[in-house]
Structure formats: C-alpha cells, structure tokens
Amino acid sequence: MTRHITPILSSAALTALLSLPALAESIPPLASLSPPPIPDDNPMTPEKVALGEKLFWDGRLSGNGAMPCSACHLPDLGWGTGGAISFGYPGTQHWRNSQTILNAAYYNKLFWEGNSTSLEAQAPAAAGGAVAGNGDGSMMEMRLRFVPDYVREFKAVFGTDWPNLAHAWDAIAAYQRTIVTDATKVPFDRYLAGDTDAMSDAAKRGMDIYNGKAGCISCHNGALASDQKFYNIGVPAAAEFEQEPLYQITLRWELYQKGVPEDVYRAGADDLGLYHVTKRPEDKGKFRTPSLRELRWTEPYMHNGALWSLADVVDFYDAGGGEGQTAGLQPLGLNDGEKADLVAFLEAMSMDEPLLAEAPELPETATWSEFLK
Ligand code: HEC
Ligand code: HEC
C-alpha cells in the first residue's frame, strides 16, 4: 500500500479551486428586479388591474362580507397586519405572520411553507380559508353578480355576461403584480445603477459583510434576495402560543387538514412548516427564505413575527441562528460596528418611502328588479 500520495495541488489550492469559482457560479448575486413575470393565461390590462384593486379591498370576497384581502394586507402596515401573528377570521386565530404582498409577484412558491404556486391559485385559498376569508365560493360569486358596476367591468375585461369567481382571482393577481418595488427609489438599486453615493459608507461595508463574512448571500440571493428554498433556522416558537387556546386550536386543525401522521398530530406543539407539505421528517421547521427587499416597511419578521427589529435579526444570526436549526448556520462573531453596518445595508434594500395606496371606492349592490329595468 502506498503510504504517501502526492497531491497534484496543495490542499489549500484545491479548496480554493473547488469552492471559490463554483460558489461564485452557483450563487446568483444580488441584482435589481426586472418587471415581474406575467403568465400567458392572465395578461395584464389597466382595466383588469383596476378591477383587481377594487376586489382586493372588497369584503364581498369573504364569508362575513368584512374580511377582504386588505384587512390583513394593509398598505400602511407594509401590506401586512403589522403584528407578530395575524388575526384570523372572526372566531378564529391565524397561526402565522401575515406576509407582505409587496413583491409577492416574484415568488414561484407562495406562503411560508410554499404550498401555493401562483397568485391566481393563492387568492381563492386566502378568501376561502377558514382562518382567513372563510368565504363560500358560490356565495361570493353571487354577491359579485348583484353589483351592476362589476357586471359591466367583468364583461369588459373577461367578455362574460356575469362575473365569474375564477376571473376575480385573476384580476386580484394582476393587481398584486403592480405592488412591487420601484428600483429608482431604492438606495441599493441606485448604487447598482452606478450612483456610488446612493448608499452610505456603513451600508457599503454592510454589503461586503452580507456577501462575505455573514454569508447571508448563500440563501438571500438574486434580485429578490431569496433563493426560494426552505430551511429550518431555528426561529423560536411564538410566545402567544402557550396562552391562546384559539391559536392552539388552529395549529391542531392545520395539522389535521394537512394530514400529518397521528403521532405528529397528537404531539403537535409547533408550526412544522414545509413538513406539512412533504411529511418528510427532515423538513420539520423549514420555511421559505423570504425576500429581504422592503424590510424597513414590513416588520415584524419571520413566519411567526418573533423578531421585531433588524438589529434583533442580526443578533439572531450572529448567535448562529436558533435552537434546533438544521440550516448549517454558524456563529458569525460580528462586532457592534459590523452589526450596525449589516443593518444599514438591509435598510438600503428598501424604498426611501413606503409604497402606500388609498382604499378605492367600492360599487353598490343592486336589487334584482333594478337589474331587470
Ligand atoms: C385573516 C387575514 C388574511 C386575509 C383576509 C388574507 N390574507 Fe393573505 N396572508 C395572510 C397570512 C397570515 C399569510 C401567511 C400564511 C401562511 O404562510 O400560511 C398570507 C399570505 C399571503 C400571500 C403570500 C405572500 C408570500 O410571500 O408568499 C399572498 C400573495 C396573500 N396572502 C394575498 C392575499 C389575498 C389576495 C387575499 C384576499 C383574497 C388575502 N391574502 C387575504 C393573512 C391574510
Ligand atoms: C441557510 C439559509 C439562510 C441564511 C444563510 C440566512 N437566512 Fe435569513 N432567512 C432564511 C429563512 C428560511 C428565513 C425564514 C425563517 C422563518 O420564518 O422561520 C429567513 C428570514 C430572514 C429575515 C426575515 C424576513 C421577513 O420578511 O420576515 C431576515 C430579515 C433575514 N432572514 C436576514 C438574514 C441575514 C441578515 C442573514 C445573514 C446574516 C441571513 N438572513 C442568512 C434563510 C437564511
């Protein structure tokens, strides 16, 4: 047996060769967003977007007539609820943080556990879900058919005699594709476009830490600053869970709905994330990497809103993530200055001002005899 093998390259050179170019190639760098992709079967028109805007704000698309999409995706609150765990349909409690819909148009997997693949498919799940809109499909459709303005607008946009519920979701999806970051308003994007003064020196140092020492780029990469993959980074359970029976009821109900094995259902004490979709033990506690764009306007953070500030987020990662993480996070050893720089860079990926919107005026419901006139 040969006792000594002469390596062709020194181990340091080999590591450099294997890791550096390969990594640089496989991790897409941060970049500015292009306009979002538009599906072939739901083209955008200004009329469709205007209709979708009204429907997004219209409680007719919920069970009790009062839980429109905007109830939990308020522009003033970063297009979320502003709280840690979202409230639920009256009489229920939701179990997760309401995600911002800002830039949702760019994801190919929606929700924290990625269980919806398009905005068109996501909207009925939200409007019909028992802890969200809790609307019955045929009832919601009938409500739309009693609104003369909607009858006219659906006809103009979709060519049907009467509003069709599936078209309502298409219009809402088209509207959400307009709720996106404007790169000209983002310091980081202006910097990428060549304005070297657009970011502060702290943010520039933070960018190097993000791409280097802190390794954020390995998951929060590409134009969206998300690889759209799933990891368990050990976010602590929500404090509300222990005190709120309604919350515990929702968790059990979700476990049941999603068909987890009985032992998991009985033990069920925390949100298992991607596991609910795949039922693979290694997927417990994994959630979709969220975009890091617009963080200034969308606190609190994480699937259960456990972290309230970007400084808390950076401390969380500096400590190597939370208990039970399986994402391979390591303590980062950042000093206070480096932490502040990283926060400054995260802030520089948000628009200078939040994207706001006014509630549109909603059309009136008519009686049947008014229609027949
Ligand atoms: C009761 C509050 C509530 C209502 C009403 C509601 N949502 Fe949500 N929304 C949430 C919560 C909470 C989540 C995260 C849920 C999850 O991950 O399981 C979410 C997630 C989303 C996402 C996914 C974003 C992402 O990053 O993946 C979109 C898009 C969305 N909602 C749009 C809508 C639309 C459109 C409507 C109306 C048809 C609506 N929502 C109604 C609370 C609500
Ligand atoms: C191994 C992949 C991975 C790495 C590395 C990583 N993250 Fe994350 N990040 C995630 C996942 C997954 C979530 C969602 C976790 C959850 O909600 O349970 C997340 C959530 C976040 C959030 C919350 C965003 C929101 O809208 O709620 C912020 C902020 C964040 N990460 C910043 C960072 C920073 C800064 C770094 C570098 C120090 C970093 N991340 C490194 C995967 C990663």
Q: Give me the chain's average pLDDT, please.
A: 93
More confident residue, 369 or 356: 356
Q: How confident is the model at residue 8 (pLDDT cuts 50, 70, 90)?
A: very low
**How far, in Å, is the centroid of ligand 2 from the Cα of 280?**
22
Mean pLDDT computed over 319-346: 98
Residue 357 CB-density burial (10 A; 0-12 exposed, 13-18 middle, 19+ buried): middle
Q: Which of 89-93, 245-249, 324-328 has the lowest mean pLDDT?
A: 245-249
Indicate the top mutation candidate among 86, 144, 175 to test ligand 1's pocket, ranked by most ligand atoms within 8 A of CB: 86
Q: Which residues line ligand 2 (CB under 6 A)?
A: 214-216, 218-220, 231, 233, 235, 287, 289-290, 292, 295, 298, 301-303, 313-314, 317, 327, 342, 346
pLDDT of residue 98: 97
pLDDT of residue 243: 86
Q: How confident is the model at residue 372 (pLDDT cuts 50, 70, 90)?
A: confident
pLDDT of residue 238: 83
86 Cα distance to chain centroid: 13
**How far, in Å, is the centroid of ligand 1 from the Cα of 110?**
9
CA distance 151 to 285: 45
Closest CA to 36 of 112, 92, 119: 119
- Shortest-distance ligand to the CA of residue 300: 2
pLDDT of residue 25: 57
pLDDT at 196 over 60: yes
pLDDT of residue 239: 81
Residue 126 contacts residue 133 (beta carbons within 8 Å): yes
CA distance 326 to 200: 34
Residue 231 CB-density burial (10 A; 0-12 exposed, 13-18 middle, 19+ buried): buried
